[in-house]
Structure 1
Amino acid sequence: MSEFKKFKPVTRKLGKASVLLREVKHSDAAGLNEIINDPKVREFISVEGPVSLSETKAKIRESLRNAAHKWIVAEADGKVVGSLYLTRNKGIMSHSGNFGISLAKEEWGTGLASALMDAVFAFAKRNGITAIHSSTGADNKRAHAFYKKKGFKFVGAYHKQRKRGRKFIDTLLMEKFF
């Protein structure tokens, strides 16, 4: 099994706000680009910046064409406020996948990351995924606590893989089994 089924949109209540979780659309490019180019967000993700709008549009096109990839967007009041991508591995590793998540800085600590992960991981399980892998910078303590709370185990590191300014940072590898 290498193809994902369609992700059915779902609305989640976060405090007083409602957030729609749905598959990415071409019209999301500007909102996603705004998030990825925020220096505070980029500090914690593996993307060199700045990212042009045309690069974001190309990533959306690529994602929509790839049946082993799902890019789920969180939308609040018509505005993109976050996203999570899930990619199924190929061949003998097709029971597993990788993910990455990014949220607008204003959404940090609101429960949005948890809602996105819960919805997308339930989708992954329904599609035969039994293991999820990702990585994070060793200096992202807030993310470490969050991932542990979500059931992830840290299983290794790539030493000095990331560079921020003149400082080298280890990349921590993590996994979760369903």
Structure 2
Amino acid sequence: MIIRAATSADAEAICEIVNWVIRDTLITFASTPKTPAQIHETIAEKGDDYLVAEVDGQVVGHAYYGDFRSGSGYRFTAEHTIHLSPAAHGRGIGRALYLALEQRAVRAGLHVLVAGVSSANPGGVGFHAALGFAEVGRLPEVGHKNGQWLDTILMQKIVSQGGNPHPDNVTEHE
């Protein structure tokens, strides 16, 4: 397994994974499929902080983080996304992707990572708990997909300790 920064050449494979998640699961509340062009745009926006997992030359997962909320007070907190192909589950690939992403987040000056997990995804809750995330809230019935009301479970992990972040690692987001 290789964890590396995504490139535009990965957009099609990532799109297949994302669209499987959208189409066949309740992991995300999204219902509109993504296009390779949309994935390419996200890869370009995130740069080296958009990661893929590759096994035998095939992209089997992706992960990235982005702003948790707008406003400069939230600039040290990010929400992450991680998806795997069906065949990649249970093989340690998600853990490897997340740990590489966390290292990048810490280097970027982030203090907290947040996960918004669908209540229809108990495996996602267990995955995050095993990585040190704590459940900090539940938003009942905020999602609706396939005729079901779904909760969002908020989980967080403090990824850096100490006082104020180093100013060289901080960017303002408004």
Same fold (TM over 0.5): yes
Deviation digits for residues 100-131 of structure 1 (CA, Å, limit 9, x no counterpart): 11000001100001011111101211221110
The whole-number CA distance in structure 2 between the counterparts of 1:62 and 1:135 is: 19
Structure 1 or 2: more helix by fraction = 2
Give 1:83's aligned amino acid.
H
Contact 2:138 2:151 in 1 (8 A): yes
**Which residue of structure 2 lines up, in the alignment, with residue 81 of structure 1?**
60
Contact 1:35 1:102 in 2 (8 A): yes
- Structure 1's unaligned 5+ residue stretches are 1-18
- Structure 2's unaligned 5+ residue stretches are 160-174
The whole-number CA distance in structure 2 between the counterparts of 1:76 and 1:163 is: 34
**Which residue of structure 2 lines up, in the alignment, with residue 118 of structure 1?**
99
Alignment partner of 1:172 is 2:157: no
Across the aligned residues of Structure 1 and Structure 2, the Cα RMSD in angstroms comes to 2.1
Give 2:79's aligned amino acid.
N
Task: Choose 162-171 or 32-41, whichever is displaced more.
Answer: 32-41
Identify if the C-alpha distance between structure 1 residues 119 and 62 changes in structure 2 by more than 3 Å, giving closer, same or farther: closer
The whole-number CA distance in structure 2 between the counterparts of 1:91 and 1:151 is: 26
**Which residue of structure 2 lines up, in the alignment, with residue 48 of structure 1?**
31
Please state how far the C-alpha of 1:83 moved relative to its aligned partner: 0.3
The whole-number CA distance in structure 2 between the counterparts of 1:167 and 1:135 is: 17
Deviation digits for residues 78-114 of structure 1 (CA, Å, limit 9, x no counterpart): 2110000112455222111110110000011000010
Identify if the C-alpha distance between structure 1 residues 130 and 140 changes in structure 2 by more than 3 Å, giving closer, same or farther: same
Please state how far the C-alpha of 1:63 moved relative to its aligned partner: 3.6
Identify if the C-alpha distance between structure 1 residues 41 and 128 changes in structure 2 by more than 3 Å, giving closer, same or farther: farther
**Which residue of structure 2 lines up, in the alignment, with residue 95 of structure 1?**
76
Superposed counterparts of 1:6-155, under 5 Å: 19-38=1-20, 42-51=25-34, 55-66=35-46, 70-88=49-67, 91-155=72-136
Contact 1:153 1:176 in 2 (8 A): yes
Contact 1:42 1:49 in 2 (8 A): no
Contact 2:29 2:145 in 1 (8 A): no
| 3-state SS of 2:129 partner | helix
Ranked by relative contact order (alpha carbons within 8 Å, sequence separation 6 or more), the top structure is 2
Contact 1:24 1:60 in 2 (8 A): no
The whole-number CA distance in structure 1 between the counterparts of 2:33 and 2:46 is: 25
Deviation digits for residues 117-156 of structure 1 (CA, Å, limit 9, x no counterpart): 1111012112211100120111211111111111111111
**Seq. identity, %:** 24
The whole-number CA distance in structure 2 between the counterparts of 1:83 and 1:117 is: 9
Give 2:9's aligned amino acid.
S
